[in-house]
Structure 1
Amino acid sequence: MSFISCDEGGNPEAGGTSVAKMSGDWYVQTLIDGEVVVDYSLISTYNTSANDGKAMWIDDHGNIWSFKCKSPVNISSLSFSGNNLASSIIDDDDSTPDVIETYDINVNITEGKITKNGTTSTGGHTVDKIYFKAEFSDDENPGTIYEIVGYKRTGFLEDEH
């Protein structure tokens, strides 16, 4: 048995995605008129397949409203927003084999901002902050604006929810 490898010299540059500065897992609270309606939940922001720096996915993994949409971004200001963003979730209902349903809505995202070192985690660590407002097309109370605010996941046990 033998192993062969080659070293092209130095460490290769892995690079990153176009929205790396805005990507991550976030623990957020959801508020209406300043009142918490959904306590700390995990959401994710990540690159689209286009990798062009023009949009990122916002995915709540079913923790807040069951939405996943592509939002336009401005990398230089770390901001994001968009109207009538299509969200389509595939719900594979494990209780009913072979039944797959989709959940299609539109989402308005406003005032989206990532602030580097902009907040303190529940464990006391200085971390990036995320903030945005969302409105959902299927809300039984049309016009309700949800404020979603939180911090970037640190990996420290004291910050997990």
Structure 2
Amino acid sequence: MKKFLFIAITIVTSTLWISCNDDEGYEDYDNFEAVTKDFNGDWFIIGYFPDGSIAYGGGYVLYTTSNTAANDENFWIDDHGAFFEIKTTVQADLDDLVFSGPENAPELITGGTVTVSNGKIIKNGGRGSATGTVVDSIYFEAEFDWDPGTVYQFAGHKRSGFLEDEH
């Protein structure tokens, strides 16, 4: 019995020592922080006509904003081709949490162009729909080459992570 207890203690001690070795297998891992971390995430966004009515009978669509490979002040806006078909990069003002894109920037889903303007992230400015969880909100405007002269408005809130808030 003492022999079994000794073996069990040795195994447990060895396992703990191996699992607590901080550098084991992670020597080359770089846990960088994205420059645009305050802008990045999944968002539920609705598109609106200039008069404020919901565009084309749509509802909430899942968009993703994420840093570019350069990890600078530019980030992607992407609706995954779900509704307005927008995938383009914009430039962030990191201090004021505002963003915009260049005029007639490439739009990668349709191959056309888009001009994103007046973008803003409002920290703790939104709520998850069912749970009421406080989340960030987002707003921006976009003019597409397929409808020149019409500036659509986009507004929504960050994904809360709660199943009840999924649209």
Q: Which has the higher strand share?
A: 1
* Secondary structure in structure 2 of the residue aligned to 1:158: helix
Structure 2 partner of 1:117: 124
Q: Is the 8 A contact 2:126 2:158 kept in 1?
A: no
Q: Which has the higher helix share?
A: 2
Where do 1:6-25 residues align within 5 Å? 6-8=21-23, 14-25=31-42
Please tell me whether residue 127 in structure 1 is matched to residue 122 in structure 2.
Answer: no
Where do 1:38-53 residues align within 5 Å? 38-52=58-72
* Secondary structure in structure 1 of the residue aligned to 2:161: coil
Number of aligned residue pairs: 142
> Which residue of the other structure, out of 84, 92, 95, is the alignment partner of 1:73?
92
Bigger Rg over Cα:
2
Quote the RMSD (CA, aligned, Å): 2.2
Structure 1 unaligned blocks of 5 or more: 90-102
Q: Matched residues in 1 for 2:32 and 2:106: separation?
A: 30
Which amino acid is 2:35 matched to? S
Structure 1 partner of 2:107: 87
Q: Tell me the TM-score normalised to structure 2 length.
A: 0.78
Structure 2 partner of 1:153: 159
Q: Which runs of 4+ in 1 moved over 6 A?
A: none
Which amino acid is 2:93 matched to? N
CA shift for structure 1 position 148: 0.5
Please tell me whether residue 36 in structure 1 is matched to residue 54 in structure 2.
Answer: yes
Deviation per CA, 1:126-146, whole angstroms, max 9, x where unpaired? 11000000110122xx21111
Q: Matched residues in 2 for 1:109 and 1:7: separation?
A: 45
* Secondary structure in structure 1 of the residue aligned to 2:62: strand
Q: Matched residues in 2 for 1:58 and 1:110: separation?
A: 12
